[in-house]
Amino acid sequence: MSKATRIAIIPGDGIGKEVMEEAIKVLGYIEEYDSTLQIEVKIFPWSSDYYLKHGQMMPDDALETLAQYNAILFGAIGDARVPDDVTVWELIMPIRKQFQQYVNFRPIKSLPGISSPLANGGDIDFVIFRENAEGEYSNSGGRIYNNQPQEMTIQNTVMTRIGIEKIVRAACDYAHKNHKTKITSSTKSNAIIHSMKFWDEHTKKTLAKTSPKLQLESIYIDALVAYFVERPQDFEVVVASNLFGDILSDLGSAIVGGLGLSPSANINPEREYPSMFEPVHGSAPDIAGKGIANPIAQIWSLALLFGHIGRPDVEELIVTAIEKVLREGIVKTADIGGRATTKEMGNAICEAIVAMK
């Protein structure tokens, strides 16, 4: 008998808790669907409520606890009563850093029955590899001459050769496994001449060394955002730095139908540590508690988790079920033009899974 797969679940705040309930429901159906699958789940209530009670987002030994799991399924975090930098820097960042989740992976894929805001939005299908551990999101820098006329700030970008090689290699591995032919890398090396030129140089070298058959296309970020709108069908695998990848990912999510549908994965490709799977959206305080959030982004994140732990068949099963429900177009939440509740959408996806048995 194989050992059970251990999944740590952190629902978090706001709609995070609501959409996670549906993902857990799907997990139950998946276990029934496939008796070879042994899953052990534990739910951790680390959230803003936890912070207000305990003065910290998670207990001191949280990272040691999580290290014992094969993967982490995360909901969303954010609450008006807790400063944003606390929720991000005391929960999400420590997990990403401790477990060296240096790849942020986002599929950008048109879904049946979902209209793109783009006139030519049909059949978009690419993925983004965002560098998730260094780059522009560094705390190196500071301010000088405070409150004086010459007051100024410097914010440093940190890029390492190893960091670039690792994210580019992960993108190339994905391209090989999925029969893609082209990698698109985006920088602004005509203006940001130190860090971005360094990125270009090592991207090119890494590709030449590891994947000489893959075509490398380098497009400046200002042009690439326009191409995402004008000809999104041209892309297969996009790789970018932390900041540019962040912006491209949100744009990517918008052109295929919005936040309620967009999953993401924070991956440690070496599998030395657990990877973390989470919807792109936040806790959505404007609709929290109403039971109307779309659970698809969360359920699709669960699908990505299965793909990562070596069960691409289960990933496909979940994605097919989501597509079936959307194609039928009967059950739709408000964000995609319907009136269904979070629970109704979750149930519809579970029924689609049962129907495929």
Report what 135 binds from Mg ion, ligand ATP, none; CB cut-off 5-8 Å by kind: none
Q: For residues 294 and 301, which CB has a smaller minimum distance to ligand ATP in the complex?
A: 294
Show the site string, 305-344: x = touches ligand ATP by CB under 6 A, - = not.
------------------------------x---------
Residues 6+ positions from 101 with CB-CB distance below 8 Å: 95, 132, 133, 266, 267, 268, 273, 275, 276
Binding of residue 259 to ligand ATP (CB under 6 A): yes
Shortest spacing between CB 281 and ligand ATP, in angstroms: 3
Binding of residue 260 to ligand ATP (CB under 6 A): yes
Q: Which residue is nearest to ligand ATP (CB)?
A: 282
What is the DSSP-derived secondary structure letter of residue 283? -
Q: In sequence order, what DSSP letters do the residues of 97-126 get, joined into one string?
A: HHTT--EEEEEEE--TT---SSTT-SS-EE
| 105: number of Cβ within 10 Å | 25
Report what 260 binds from ligand ATP, Mg ion, none; CB cut-off 5-8 Å by kind: ligand ATP
Question: In the set 294, 301, 341, 347, which binds ligand ATP (CB under 6 A)?
Answer: 294
Stretch that binds ligand ATP, among 35-43, 66-74, 105-113, 290-298 (CB under 6 A): 290-298
CA distances from 202 to 132, 166, 169 (A): 17, 10, 11
| 30: number of Cβ within 10 Å | 21
Shortest spacing between CB 261 and ligand ATP, in angstroms: 8
Q: For residues 192 and 259, which CB has a smaller minimum distance to ligand ATP in the complex?
A: 259
Q: For residues 76 and 111, which CB has a smaller minimum distance to ligand ATP in the complex?
A: 76
Shortest spacing between CB 342 and Mg ion, in angstroms: 19
Q: For residues 4 and 80, which CB has a smaller minimum distance to Mg ion in the complex?
A: 80
Alpha helices (runs of H) in the chain, residue ranges in sequence order: 15-33, 48-54, 62-66, 84-87, 93-98, 161-177, 195-210, 221-230, 242-255, 296-308, 312-328, 342-355
The secondary structure element, H or E, covering residue 12 is strand 5-12
Stretch that binds ligand ATP, among 20-28, 172-180, 214-222, 287-295 (CB under 6 A): 287-295
Q: Considering only residues 264-283, where is the footprint of ligand ATP by CB under 6 A? A: 281-283
Q: Which residue is nearest to Mg ion (CB)?
A: 282
Binding of residue 286 to ligand ATP (CB under 6 A): yes
Show the site string, 132-171: x = touches ligand ATP by CB under 6 A, - = not.
----------------------------------------
Q: Which residues bind Mg ion (CB under 5 A)?
A: 282
* DSSP bridge partners of 186: 219, 240
Shortest spacing between CB 282 and Mg ion, in angstroms: 4
Compute how many residues bind ligand ATP; rule: CB under 6 A: 16
- For every residue of 202-232, which 3-state class applies, written as one string? HHHHHHHHHCCCCEEEEEEHHHHHHHHHHCH
Give the Cα separation of 338 and 331 in Å (integer): 7
Give the Cα separation of 20 and 24 in Å (integer): 6
Closest residue by Cα to residue 108 from 264, 260, 327, 215: 264
Question: In the set 92, 127, 240, 287, which binds ligand ATP (CB under 6 A)?
Answer: 287
Chain positions contacting ligand ATP, by CB under 6 A: 15, 19, 76, 78, 259-260, 281-284, 286-287, 293-294, 297, 335
